[in-house]
Structure 1
Amino acid sequence: MTETHNIVIKIGSTLVANSDRLTPRFGFMQRLLEDIARMRERGINVILCSSGAVALGLRTVGETPDSAGVSDKQAAAACGMPTLLNAYKQVGHEYDMDIAQVLLTLGDFEDHRRFLNTRNTVNRLLEAGVVPIVNENDSITTEEIRVGDNDRLAAKVAQMVDAKDFIILTEVNGLYDRHPDEPGAELVREVQDVAPYMEATKGKSTLGTGGMTTKLMAANIAQEAGVTTYIAHGEVDQPISTVIDGKRDCSRFPAHDAPNTGWKRWLANRLQMAGSLKVEDDVADALESGERSIMRSDILSIDGDFSRGDVLHIYDTHGTERARGLSDFSSEELRVLAVNPHLDAEQLLGYKTKGEIVRAKNLVFLERRHLLWDAPEGVDQVA
């Protein structure tokens, strides 16, 4: 049986939309889709995560990248998405390529059932020979429920479809050891751990919402999911195949060995923090075995308002994130349990429970190469 080879391609706004006229860049799309057709002839499935809808809709709502507010950008996304998809469809017809639109929100990644449903839809499109074009549903999302950048969204799609490769096409050749405009800046061709480079990557493009920082965060998500990531310049002939075949300079982020199961990859790679717990150091250390659950007596403090089934971030007493796991209780229930450790759980909650806050099978211990989240401030102390 031939192994499926899926590739996810993330396209930045500045490649798709002309920065002055805010119109589609058909020349780039032509080169891109021609190369996608070439990859499909090699038996490789391609999923596109394309920015550009907001940029292509700004003129319609009478705004510019500098003047547009949140509601302007949401309206622009509604106007620009048909323009973006129509441009892809026009060029795709030349290569007998069918295009489908998949619009996602944060909940489609953070809720496991919706995550699986979305994966089934994308896989069905690939089976039918259709190229899915994925984007965040910017017309309806607010700050609280949005991913916020297509770099991480695309990385989550790569995780979702068990992609082998994830390519981020942008305006530079890849990651540099300092700002590319600084004298002596050198391209970093291979990166095992993104953490040392995070501070040197601040800033974003004029049209886009993500700079190199979000690209490194996306690369880390993909690496942890067993996907090899590339950051490369998009303004070249054959922008995809030359990267896959190693024919030009770019930054490569090799997939980490022995990735976790799909369930644990989903647990580990978050886009938003629902809530967090602080536990004693010896409890945090014991989580590495994969056999230790978190009990209510282990909890030192709680942060956030979350529901049963949300993923919690687990910290030690030094504020270092050690694990992530699925909560068996809402934050309201958990606070009642935690502050009354000597009272029976059934008496407190009104139903029978073993009192396991995060069960071992629903918990993943984080490797140091995983980008860790800072502990929230002002948490509720249990004792």
Structure 2
Amino acid sequence: MSAPTPFSFIEKANRLVIKIGSALLVSGEDGTLRTAWLEALAKDVLKLKARGCDVILVSSGAVAMGLEPLGFKGRPTRLEEAQAAASVGQIRLAQAYQTLFASENAVIGQILLTIHDLENRPSYLNARNTVEELLARGVVPVINENDTVATAELRFGDNDQLAARVAQMAGADTLILLSDIDGLYDSDPRSNSTARFLEVVESVDAGVEAMAGPPGKTTPGTGGMVTKLKAAKIALAGGCSMIIMNGHAPSPLARLEAGERATLFPASTDALTVRKQWIRSLMAPKGYIHIDAGAVKALEGGASLLPAGVTGVDGGFDRGDLVAFMGPDGHLVGQGLTSYSSEHASLMQGRKMQDAQAVLGHVGRSALIHRDDLVLF
């Protein structure tokens, strides 16, 4: 049996996150967009979508594309200057994506995130649900750090780690980091001609981390191999495999399919299993939801928890909190992360989801607790 290749992980993936660095999007430090390169990438992405794979792009480049219009000769060092460049560049970047994907009859959606958005539970759930809705409608989400408002203390610092967090949030199977190097070496190939290329890295331990040099400073980007290994640790912990490859030439995914080498970090489990294990490990639910026999049977069949099967709500909880659910015999059935507060769950008790507008005054989420956010005992 042949060893798995990086592209084999892409072929079997249901959901991919692709990170695009500034050095790939722009030429030099003048912020000139590499239009032909981005157009070729769009074709790559849409081939994956045609196979039934969800694709999320995490794109750098906002600051780099705002430098020339504001008269900067290099990346600014002051935070407010970088934020001003991002403000101008983000519009230019979004326009470029919109134009090139529209030429392929595809729709993109832009999402700007900060660390706060992924650390704060309600914001995290909003971001995740927005991504899910975009993907369900065939849209390609393009995500970037919100450089215009993020402070030094609330920055990811590079989009490698942002991409890993997005992959974790979205339950992606594989994360692809398009870089200016073809993967991980056991030492810096720029200074050591005998550096050995690593095709597969099973885990990121101290020995592997020692192989990375300092963050790169030679391109418009801010990352380096150090940040990519940090991203690998985040991705692998979330059940997401990761690939590092040289994305500088056009059609990187087509080149990967043709056998171009890359470094593969295979995950030992899948994202949903990791998520379920985490939910199962949580203790001290904020409240209890009592459900009827029909709801218990539906959950056992793999369904989400809907308010129609709810017979009672105890305790005070907010959206995103851990709640346990009890069967009609009073025994614990399972637990999960609720999409509704205890107040709204009580109001929706025994009703159908389509009643949310009339009962709550707004259209709610598709389930009281989504099947991906619950475990049964």
- TM (norm. structure 1) is 0.66
Q: Residue in 2 aligned with 1:373?
A: none
1:113–1:20 Cα change, 3 Å: closer
Aligned residues: 269
Q: Which digits, 9 at most, give the CA deviation of each residue in 1:166-213, with x for residues without a partner?
A: 100011111111012121112111011222222332121421121111
* Aligned counterparts of 1:203 and 1:148: Cα–Cα separation in 2: 11
Shift of 1:264: 6.3
Q: Name the CA distance, whole Å, in 2 between partners of 1:41 and 1:203.
A: 36
- Aligned positions of 1:255-274 closer than 5 A: 255-257=267-269, 261-262=274-275
1:174 touches 1:250 (CA, 8 Å); kept in 2? yes
- Is residue 203 of structure 1 aligned with residue 215 of structure 2? yes
Provide the rounded CA distance (Å) in 1 between the counterparts of 2:95 and 2:31: 15
Output the amino acid matched with 1:32: L
Cα distance, 1:71–1:232 mapped onto 2, change above 3 Å:
same
Report the counterpart of residue 234 of structure 2 in structure 1.
Answer: 221
1:177 aligned residue: 186
What is the distance in 1 between the residues matched to 2:237 and 2:255? 24
Query: How far off is 1:110 after superposition?
Result: 1.1
In structure 2, distance between residues paired with 1:154 and 1:252: 16
* More deviation, 141-150/9-18: 141-150
Structure 1 partner of 2:297? none
Contact 2:167 2:235 in 1 (8 A): yes
1:105 corresponds to? 114
The answer to whether the 8 A contact 2:19-2:57 is kept is yes
5+ residue gaps, structure 2, are 1-11, 285-319, 321-377
**Paired residue for 2:167?**
158
Q: 1:51 aligns with which of 60, 78, 87?
A: 60
Unaligned 5+ segments in structure 1 are 268-289, 294-308, 310-383
1:138 to 143, 147, 158: 147
Asked if 1:34 corresponds to 2:43, the answer is yes
Aligned partners of 1:123 and 1:48: how far apart in 2?
14
Deviations along 1:280-332, whole A, 9 cap, x unmatched? Answer: xxxxxxxxxx7999xxxxxxxxxxxxxxx9xxxxxxxxxxxxxxxxxxxxxxx
CA 1:64 to 1:265, structure 2 compared with 1: closer, same or farther past 3 Å? farther
Quote the Cα distance in structure 2 between the aligned partners of 1:261 and 1:87: 36
1:249 corresponds to: 261
Q: How far 1:118 moved relative to its partner?
A: 0.7
* 1:205-354 mapped onto 2 (5 Å cutoff): 205=217, 206-243=219-256, 245=257, 247-257=259-269, 261-262=274-275
Which has the larger helix fraction? 2
The answer as to 2:177 corresponding to 1:168 is yes
* Aligned pair partner of 2:87 in 78, 82, 92: 78
Consecutive aligned runs of 4 or more in structure 1 exceeding 6 Å deviation:
290-293
**8 Å Cα contact 2:202/2:265 also seen in 1:** yes
CA contact (8 A) 2:240 2:270 kept: no
Aligned counterpart for 1:90 among listed residues 91, 99, 122: 99
Aligned partners of 2:201 and 2:258: how far apart in 1? 15
Is 1:148 matched with 2:142?
no
Label 1:192 to 1:34 Cα distance change in 2 as closer, same or farther (>3 A).
Answer: same
Return the letter of the residue paired with 1:250. A
**Which shifted more, 163-172 or 187-196?**
187-196
- Which residue identity lines up with residue 204 of structure 1 in the other structure? G
State how far apart, in whole Å, the 2-side matches of 1:51 and 1:291 are: 35
Do 2:29 and 2:73's aligned partners in 1 also have CA atoms closer than 8 Å? no
Q: Provide the identity percentage.
A: 38
Q: CA deviation at 1:165?
A: 1.0
Letter in 2 for 1:190: V
C-alpha distance 266-236 of structure 1, shift in aligned 2 (>3 A): farther
Asked whether the equivalents of residues 134 and 140 of structure 2 are also in contact (C-alpha less than 8 Å), the reply is yes
One-letter amino acid matched to 1:180: P
1:32 Cα deviation from its structure 2 partner? 0.5
Do 1:155 and 1:218's aligned partners in 2 also have CA atoms closer than 8 Å?
yes
Q: Distance in 2 between matches of 1:112 and 1:263?
A: 17
Q: CA deviation at 1:240?
A: 2.1
TM-score (norm 2): 0.67
Cα distance change, pair 237–66 in 1 and its aligned pair in 2 (3 A): closer
1:292–1:149 distance in 2 versus 1, CA, 3 Å: same
3-state SS in 2 of match to 1:240 = helix
